[in-house]
Chain A
Amino acid sequence: MSRILLSLVFFFATAASAEPTARDVTEAMKRDFHPRGQATMDRVAQDGVQRICTETHDKPPAALAKQLEADQMKTIVFPSGSLMGDWKRAEKMAQSGRGSMWNDKPGVDVGGSCYNCHQISPQETSYGTMGPSLLGFGKKRGNGPEVQRYVYGKIYNAKAYNACSQMPRLGHAGTLTEQQIKDLVALLLDPESPVNK
């Protein structure tokens, strides 16, 4: 019994002088941040994915990653019927980064901020490189129901496919609507979309 107690003491002693934990950081943020506009304090709470990715520096062990991905997959709400929307609408919306910052009016000109990280249509030269280029996406992969499902799911919750992806969970976070995501699927997969020309 005393051996267990001793080892517990050692554990807590070393833990106290170690770096702040994710929980410590959340507490510091709760203390030092305040709500503004639509950015309320619930955004400071870490969910399971965020906590684990923080603690493992975005490299969780394989088994744990698989578990996280399976959990995230459960959050995706796939619409019935076709998942392809209007690519012309999507191109406009992919350009906009508005929607969920504290200075944004909720629901006004909400976009996916896609060009911040990706190359998409060839005529847009101002694109980011944080994510892979999406040029020719549909041309390479086809546009059958399985590919549509993959693209829809990836945009809705990228963590379902890669546990610690840097890509935001645009559907899960409530940033984009079902129609907007469908439109983005078309942008990537429709043969008429500039992406595939």
Chain B
Amino acid sequence: MIKRAFACAAALVFAPAFAQQKSPFADYQRMTVEGSPVELFELGGEELWKKPQGPKSASLEKCDLGKGPGVLKGAYASLPRHFKDVDRVMDLEARLVHCMVTLQGRSREEITKSLFGSADRPSEMEYLSAYIAGQSRGVKMAPGGSHPKEKESYQLGKALFFHRTGSWDFSCASCHGEEGKRIRMSDLPVLSDPKAARPLIATWPAYRVSNSQFKTMQWRINDCYRQMRMPEPTFASDTTIALNMYLATTAKGAEYRGPGTKR
């Protein structure tokens, strides 16, 4: 009797996030996934990847995301990781900025001028993230973990996750620290727990219906800090990468499912 209850509970945890919602939302969730324009962002990203841009009139096709120049298969699933050429741990967006600067000769100011786009003001990062993440579909998530800087990044990310600060004394764990909780009608996954982290991290970046826009992990972290009543984290800074490292490491081993669709 108890064994079956446990198995049922386990099944619920492993089920995709939307299945845990009450029934009025299950249909809505199914319909949003069926009607998702995620593929359009992947196609748009492919165009941008191949498009010559910047003073060097170069495409991003020689960008090394960790598997070698231009190798996209499985690259997203292996991030964040340490990169020898800059001796720094980078997540996808940090590495894209690096490639845009070095391969295309563009400035960081220009690249980061229009971040977190809206439908009327699209941002390259989102399209590129969708395309590159899509190329890791079915690949086991395995961020870096053996290099000392990767370990450092993980430790900083973990400490950040539990760090209480800001006007409202929030840490990430304030909302993502206890099972079975929700804000309004949004279920809150316990992201420090691999069981909960895996299905979530396996489906970011994602199209977000409430924004009519594709959103990345850099955006997600930025928007969390906004709602935590904190000042703004700098795009692709070490603290944001550390948080991504912590989340990706907590979720490691799960199969990456590809860019998802969220509420």
Do A and B come into direct contact in the complex, CB within 8 Å? yes
Binding site for B on A (CB under 8 A): 19-22, 24-26, 28-29, 31-36, 39-41, 43-46, 49-50, 53-54, 57, 100-103, 115-117, 126-130, 159, 166, 168-169, 173-175
> Quick check: B229 and A39 within 8 Å, CB to CB?
yes
| CB-CB nearest in chain A for B240 | A32
Cross-chain pairs A/B with CB under 8 angstroms, 25 sampled: A19-B158, A20-B156, A21-B159, A29-B239, A31-B237, A32-B234, A43-B166, A44-B166, A44-B231, A49-B169, A50-B169, A53-B164, A54-B165, A100-B168, A101-B229, A102-B226, A126-B184, A129-B181, A130-B181, A130-B183, A130-B188, A166-B170, A168-B167, A173-B168, A175-B167
CB contacts (< 8 Å) of A117 on chain B: these are: 183
Give B156's nearest chain A residue, CB to CB. Answer: A20
B185 within 8 A of A: yes
* Smallest CB separation, A126 vs chain B (Å): 5
* Contacts A22-B163, A25-B160, A43-B167; A129 near B155 (Cβ below 8 A): no
Q: Which of B202-229 contact A (CB under 8 A)?
A: 225-227, 229
Q: Quick check: A39 and B164 within 8 Å, CB to CB?
A: no
CA–CA, A126 and B239, complex, Å: 33
Which of A43, A127, A159 interacts with B165 by CB under 8 Å? A43
- B165 near A46 (CB under 8 angstroms)? yes
Check if B234 sits within 8 Å of A33, measured CB to CB.
yes
Residues on A with C-beta less than 8 A from B182 are: 128-130
**Contact between A115 and B184, CB atoms less than 8 A apart:** yes
Q: How far is the CA of A117 from the CA of B229 in the complex (A)?
A: 16
Closest chain-B Cβ to A25's Cβ sits at a distance in Å of 5
Complex Cα–Cα for A117 and B168 (A): 13
Q: Is B180 interfacial (CB 8 A cutoff)?
A: yes
Specify which of A33, A57, A159 is in contact with B232 (CB 8 Å cutoff): A33
Contact A32-B233, Cβ < 8 Å, known A128-B182, A173-B167: yes
A126–B263 CA distance with the chains assembled, in angstroms: 15
- Chain B residues whose CB sits within 8 angstroms of the CB of A41 once the complex forms: 231
A113 to B50, CA, bound (A): 45
A117 nearest CB neighbor, chain B only: B183
- Does the CB pair B164–A32 fall under 8 Å? no
Interface size class of B (residues with CB under 8 A): 35 or more
CB contacts (< 8 Å) of B237 on chain A: these are 31-32
With beta carbons under 8 angstroms apart, the residue of A31, A54, A168 that contacts B163 is A54
Interface flag for B171 (CB, 8 Å) = yes
Give bound CA distance, A44 to B158, whole Å: 17
Measured CB to CB, the residues of B under 8 A from A are 155-156, 158-160, 162-171, 174-175, 178, 180-185, 188, 225-227, 229-234, 237-240, 242
Residues of A within 8 A of B159 (CB): 19-22, 24-25
Q: How far is the CB of A68 from chain B (nearest CB, A)?
A: 12
- Asked if A169 contacts B183 (CB within 8 A), the reply is no
Most buried by A among B160, B184, B226, B239: B184
- With a cutoff of 8 Å between Cβ atoms, the chain B residues found around residue A44 in the complex are 165-166, 230-231
A32-B240, A129-B182 given as contacts; is B175 within 8 A of A102 (CB)? no
Give the CA-CA distance A36 to B112 in the complex, in Å: 16
The chain A residue sitting closest to B225, CB to CB, is A33
B168 touching A39 by the CB < 8 A rule?
A: no
Shortest CB–CB separation between residue B232 and chain A, in angstroms?
Answer: 4
Interface centre among B155, B183, B227, B237 (most CB of A within 10 A): B183
User: Are A101 and B231 in touch, CB under 8 angstroms?
Assistant: no
Contact of A57 among B156, B162, B226, B227 (CB under 8 A): B162
Residues of B within 8 A of A126 (CB): 184-185
Q: For B167, what are the chain A residues with a Cβ–Cβ distance below 8 Å? A: 43, 100, 168, 173-175
A24-B159, A101-B226 given as contacts; is B232 within 8 A of A29 (CB)?
no
Residues in A with CB closer than 8 Å to B188 are 130
Closest to A21 in B: B159
In the complex, are the beta carbons of A54 and B171 less than 8 A apart? Answer: yes
C-alpha spacing A127/B186, complex, angstroms: 9
Which of chain B's residues has its CB closest to A128's CB? B183
